[in-house]
Every structure is written in C-alpha cells, then in structure tokens.
Amino acid sequence: MSGCSTCSTLTAADGSIKGCKSNGGCSTGGCNKLNTFDWLSNMEAPGKYQFDIFEVRFKNGRKDFFRNSNDLEIYPGDPVVVNVPNGHHVGYVSLQGELVRLQMQKKKVNNDDEIRSIYRVASQKDLEKFESVQKRENPTMYRSREIINELKLEMKLTDVEYQADNSKATFYYSADERVDFRELIKRLAGEFKIRVEMRQISLRQEAGRLGGIGSCGRELCCSTWLSEFKNVSTSAARYQNLSLNPSKLSGQCGRLKCCLNYELET
C-alpha cells in the first residue's frame, strides 16, 4: 500500500505511509474511497435560540418558508395553517432549524417582513375541511379541460390545487406559445365560484408533478429529489459516447434526460 500517485507525501523510506494528514481530503480526493464533507462543521452549536422560520410543503412537493411568530411547538411532519395572500392554506412542516437558513440562502430568500407567518397547528376540523376541499380538485380539472377544448386554446392543463379556505384555486398548465386565457378565467371563476390563478410550468415540472417510473426502473428524479433543473444538451450524450437515439435519450417529459448530466464531469 502506498500514497496517492499525485500526492507529495508518498511512502516514507522505511516503508511506512506518511499520508497527507488531511483525513482523506487531498486535492484529488483519492486518499479515501468514501470521501465525505462535513457541511455542518462551520455551524454554531444549537443554544437556546432556535431559527424561527420553517419550511412547509404543499401539494406535489411545492415548498415555501413561514415564520413561527407565535412560538408554537412545531415538529417536522406536523400539519399547520399558514398565512397566504387573501386567505389561509394548510401544509406540512418539512424542515426546521439551521437547515432552513441554509435552504433560504440557497434559494436566495431574504429573512425579512415578506416571510408570512404560521397561524397554528392544524386541528382535526381544519384537516377535515381541507380534505373536503381537495375532493373538488379532480372534478374541477376534468371540467376545466372540457372548457379549454371548447375555447380551442393551445394549452395543456396539468393540475389544480385548491386553497384550504376554498376561496382560490391555482391551475397549472403547460403551453408552447403564449396563451390568451382571459375568457377562460371568466368561465372558470363563474362556474366554480372561486378566484383563479393560472400558473405556467415547464414540461420537466409537469413530469415532476405527475410522477412516474423512468427507463431505469426507479421513480422519476424530478418527482422525488431533484428540485432544480439544469440545461441538458446533446453534447452531454456525445461526450459520453452514447447513441444519439432520441427515443433513448428523452425522458417522459419529452426533453433530454436530466441524468445525462450526472456523470458528465467524470
């Protein structure tokens, strides 16, 4: 056994390994097969103060940050009622503590007065009302698709999300070109008696919301852990000497597979 070929601290004259004294973290990363990086090493030990912002998850993995301004006893997984524009919504706490601060830095979210508050931990009555509201989502989506066909709009309605107070619904759609849906909003608001928000999403986001099984046999990355979509080009496949067969390189979204980038650097 000897030191790394690229390391300046090779085996000593007596045959013992001098080592880089870096615990397997030399510039090449080759001293240790299972290299790890302690990304919490520069973080202060938790004291009496606890970061008062929580990450809350909503339908299909959508997440946002809310402040625990009422000093509630909240833990990950708890259902909470949160303040949203013109009403309230129900979500589930997905993250707490210093990791939330890091997530906010990563997503460039400022810790200011724009962060809305958590009203309370959701009661059984809140959850029952929210469940009854969710039952409206599928019938609303099917009926909305019929209205879109009647208006002959070039768009694809993917999902509908009702707010817990039953006052607003967000319609997620994808389209190749700009769509004039002013008449559609009037029809939807009149038929369902709600405020309507139209939100356009990409084809990759659409696949993430719908979910599915990839050609690898595992659940789609975009619907499980992948939160940021990076640009994928055919040069990534060409550089790895892969066949430029569109049917093999395309994912369920119709775009190039995100996993083409995973091993590109190596």
Could you list the pLDDT tens digit for every one of the 266 residues in the chain? 444 544 544 445 555 545 554 444 444 444 433 334 445 546 665 555 678 899 998 887 788 999 998 888 988 889 999 999 888 999 999 888 888 888 899 888 898 888 999 999 999 999 999 999 999 999 999 999 999 999 999 999 999 999 999 999 999 999 888 888 889 999 999 999 999 999 998 888 888 888 889 888 998 888 888 877 888 888 888 888 888 888 889 988 888 998 989 888 87
List phi, psi (to 5°) of 212.
155, -175
d(CA 122, CA 74): 11
Angstrom CA distances, 186 to 1, 166, 180, 265, stand at 75, 18, 12, 50
pLDDT of residue 157: 92
d(CA 57, CA 64): 7
Kindly give, in sequence order, each residue whose CB lies less than 8 Å from that of residue 173, ignoring residues fewer than 6 positions away. Answer: 155, 156, 157, 158, 179, 198, 199, 200, 201
pLDDT of residue 122: 93
Q: Strands, DSSP E only, in the chain?
A: 53-57, 63-67, 79-84, 87-95, 118-121, 156-162, 168-174, 195-200
User: Which of the four CATH numbers 3.40.50, 3.30.300, 1.10.10, 3.30.479 does domain 133-201 have?
Assistant: 3.30.300
Domain(s) of CATH 3.30.300: residues in the chain: 133-201
169 neighbors 163 (Cβ within 8 angstroms): yes
pTM for this prediction: 0.71
204 neighbors 211 (Cβ within 8 angstroms): no
Q: What type of residue sits at position 244?
A: L
pLDDT of residue 135: 93
